[in-house]
Amino acid sequence: MHPKGIQEKNNIFKELLVYPLIFVALVFLSWYYFLLPEGRWYHAKEQVYFLIFSVCAFFLAISIKKIFVFFLKGKNAEFIEKLIVILGTGVALFLFFYYISDYQNLKDASIGILFFTIAVILHKISELYRSGIYSESIIIAGSYILAGVTVEIAYSSLWPEPDKEHSINVILMLSFIILSVLQLISLIDVTEKQSLIKISSWLKRNHLLKFIIISIALFMLIDVRRVILLKDVKTGWIFVFVVLLVVFILLIASIRRVIKEEPDVRLKKHLQRITYDKIRDISSISKYVDDFVMTGRKSGLTSYLFYMAYRVEIPVVTASRIIAPILEHKDIEVTEIMSAKNYRVIEERNKQNRIKVVKDVTDNLELYGRGRYYEYRGNSAINTKDNR
């Protein structure tokens, strides 16, 4: 065997042993010093349960992951590795908060961490059902509902008496539920109407940002409104109207922009800003973008973008990071047998995802112009060193 291959195998084997050995050492030391009746700190074992159990649970999960990585390979194996880490982290956090205090309400509330972990795992599992017409959205919506209900139950367990001034638990629960409703509404793309398909794609993206905006709006409508109503009823309802009007305007403006937006327009504008020849080199960009969006072929668009980067002397590594969203993009796989309508829906979803990829490249070009290299999108597989 080649010396380099032997060295790589030895490194993998060493990495396999590190975390299991740490886990075994932690278990032995914990048992010897704290759990064994003759142990030096046996009398103080209950005071360190939160550290013993949580740390051991975390390293057990990492150890299982390393063993899993060593013996099994493939896309599904990598996916299971992530689930193992998520589950292990959730269990470790639960054990930490459960044993850190004798306060029964905290113990009851900490159980919510397990259910929230399940919600995160469900959300992750939805990736396996991307080719399903309804299943992915239903699973994601279910995970949001479970997360929202878990937050409400955990908050109520921790503080049994309701707080009349603050409704953070209700706000978070409603935010998750509204997010789940938006995810279910995104199934409107099965109608195959182009405008609804674009709206559906918008509803599926940027859920964290939507969650924050929804939470802020609900905070204004629930807590802030309550304070204003105590002073003046009329002013309070005017405030509610203004908040709802602003939310409605933002929603309509976002939807209209999504419907009217063409994927090649912004990209062309940003390329024009960094190229010397604004006519001859830019004129064919629409053809390559359309080819990528309609068929998924990457070669024409990536070659064109690399050529443009070469023309304006952008370093190769930086150009690779700018174009990374295209290089890393993977279409939703079509199952072997499905109805013609379902096939068309999957194809439309793939087109919308490719449009999103073009937008990410455009955003990267904008970030390049600002010198904000560290914020590039879609760079999980691109080396971040020497990027200037």
Give the pLDDT confidence of 115-157 residue by residue, as tens digits: 999 999 999 999 888 878 888 899 999 999 999 999 988 988 8
Burial class (CB in 10 A: 0-12, 13-18, 19+), 30: buried
**How far is it, in rounded angstroms, from Cα 254 to Cα 312?**
34
Closest CA to 189 of 179, 202, 180, 178: 202
Q: Which of 154, 170, 187 is where one domain is finished?
A: 187
Sign of CA dihedral 270, 273, 276, 280: positive
Q: What is the pLDDT along the chain (388 residues), one digit of tens a residue?
A: 455 555 555 666 666 788 888 889 988 888 888 888 777 777 777 788 888 899 999 999 998 888 887 787 777 788 888 899 999 999 999 999 999 888 888 898 999 999 999 999 999 999 888 878 888 899 999 999 999 999 988 988 888 776 666 688 899 999 999 999 999 999 998 888 888 888 888 898 889 999 999 999 999 988 888 888 777 888 888 888 998 999 999 999 988 888 877 665 666 665 655 554 444 455 567 778 888 888 888 888 888 888 777 777 778 888 888 888 888 888 888 766 777 888 888 888 888 888 888 888 877 777 776 666 555 665 543 333 334 3
Residue 287: predicted pLDDT: 79
Q: According to DSSP H, which parts of 159-224 are helical?
A: 168-185, 194-204, 207-219
What was the pLDDT predicted at 40? 79
pLDDT reported for residue 278: 42
Q: Which residue range(s) make up the domain with 78?
A: 3-187
The answer to whether 343 touches 288, Cβ cutoff 8 Å, is: no
The position carrying tokens 């010897």 is 32
Q: Are residues 166 and 303 in the same domain?
A: no
* 300-320 CB burial, b ≥16 within 10 A, e <16: bbbebbbebbeeeebeeebbb
Report the distance separating Cα 275 and Cα 310, nearest Å: 10
pLDDT tens digits, 279-312: 445 556 777 888 888 888 888 888 888 877 777 7
Whether residue 329 contacts residue 353, with contact meaning beta carbons closer than 8 Å, is answered with yes
| The pLDDT value given to residue 265 | 63
The answer to whether the CB of 211 falls within 8 A of the CB of 179 is yes
283 three-class SS? coil
Instruction: Look up residue 179 and give its amino acid.
Output: L
256 belongs to a structural domain: no
Same domain, 160 and 280: no
* Residue 266 pLDDT: 61
Final residue of a structural domain among 162, 187, 212: 187
Q: How many structural domains comprise the chain? A: 2
> In terms of Cα–Cα distance, which of 171, 170, 168, 200 is closest to 187?
200
Query: What is the Cα–Cα distance from 139 to 147, expressed in whole angstroms?
Result: 12
Enter the tokens of residue 91. Answer: 């269990």
329 φ, ψ (degrees, to nearest 5): -70, 140
Do 353 and 267 lie in a common domain? yes
Q: Is residue 128 part of a domain?
A: yes
Instruction: Looking at the structure, tell me whether residues 168 and 277 fall in a common domain.
Output: no
Pair (37, 139) in one structural domain: yes
Tell me: do 26 and 153 sit in the same domain: yes
Structural domain contains residue 28? yes
If phi over 0 gives left and psi between -120 and 50 gives alpha, with beta otherwise, what is residue 313?
Answer: left
Paired tokens of 52: 């013993």
Integer angstrom CA distances of residue 110 from 51, 116, 168, 174: 15, 10, 17, 21
pLDDT attached to residue 209? 92
Buried b (16+ CB within 10 A) or exposed e, 267-295: bbebbeeebeeeeebbeebeebbebbbee
| Pairwise CA distance, residues 139 & 137, whole Å | 5
Q: CA-CA distances (angstroms) from residue 238 to 191, 222, 244, 362?
A: 38, 14, 10, 40
31 lies in some domain: yes
End-to-end CA distance of the chain: 39
The 10 Å CB-count burial string (b at 16+, else e) for 356-380 is bbbbbbbbbbebbeeeebeebbbbe
Of 129, 156, 187, which residue is a domain's last? 187
Would 206 be classed as within a structural domain?
Answer: no
pLDDT at residue 299, as a whole number: 85
d(CA 15, CA 25): 16
Same domain assignment for residues 39 and 183: yes
Report pLDDT for 262.
67
